[in-house]
Amino acid sequence: MSDIVRELETALEYQEPVAKSCLSPEPSETEMLELDRGGLLVVTIHEGSDIKVKAKHPYIDLRIGLDYRKTETMNNRQHHVWEETFKFTVENPAKATLHLELCSSSWRESFSLAYQGSSLVDISVADVVKQKHMDNVYDIANGRIRVELRWEPSTMAMKKTPKFIQLMTSLYNISAN
């Protein structure tokens, strides 16, 4: 019996590397370069549906690190259409996360949403870099929002642009040139 167990363990040792390589393929050299180099994340919030909150004027907060934006508030409770685009300069996409949070213009309703915990969606920027373009529907506050994400690799080294200029260009969606 011990011989059989030993043979099975040996067989498993040979199978594990194959299974691991099939499940998680190594990123290509281009993807690794883009994950190290940085670029521009373009986020478009299209619409929300079935958002069952008491919020009279819901909006979406978007944040990557300290870079914070928000959509306009929506007056139509039945069908929320934002159609707003935001651009984020991302230096290190491998470690960056886009946070989307459903909020309300009423502080009481925003507190209630935050307390429920279902009003937040986290999206890995590295996943967007790998796919280049994503158009997904995310569950938020017992409803859904449709978000389009696009990655534009940087054509110049991001480290050459001072951090203050990067922050100002991302806040006002303007070019640093």
Residues 76-105 have pLDDT tens digits of: 556 678 889 999 999 889 899 999 988 877
Please, is 65 exposed, middle or buried when counting C-beta atoms within 10 Å of its C-beta (0-12, 13-18, 19+)? middle
pLDDT, average across residues 116-131:
86
Residues 34-77 have pLDDT tens digits of: 567 889 999 999 888 777 555 567 888 999 999 999 998 776 55
Helix (H, G, I), strand (E, B) or coil at 84: strand
Q: What Rg do the C-alpha atoms of the chain give, in angstroms?
A: 21
Residue with tokens 């300290």: 66
Predicted local distance difference test score (pLDDT) of residue 125:
94
Predicted local distance difference test score (pLDDT) of residue 64:
95
Predicted local distance difference test score (pLDDT) of residue 100:
92
Architecture of domain 37-170: Sandwich (2.60)
Q: Is the confidence at residue 135, as pLDDT, over 90? A: yes
Q: Is 117 left (phi over 0), alpha (psi -120 to 50) or beta?
A: left
Task: Give the mean pLDDT of the chain.
Answer: 75
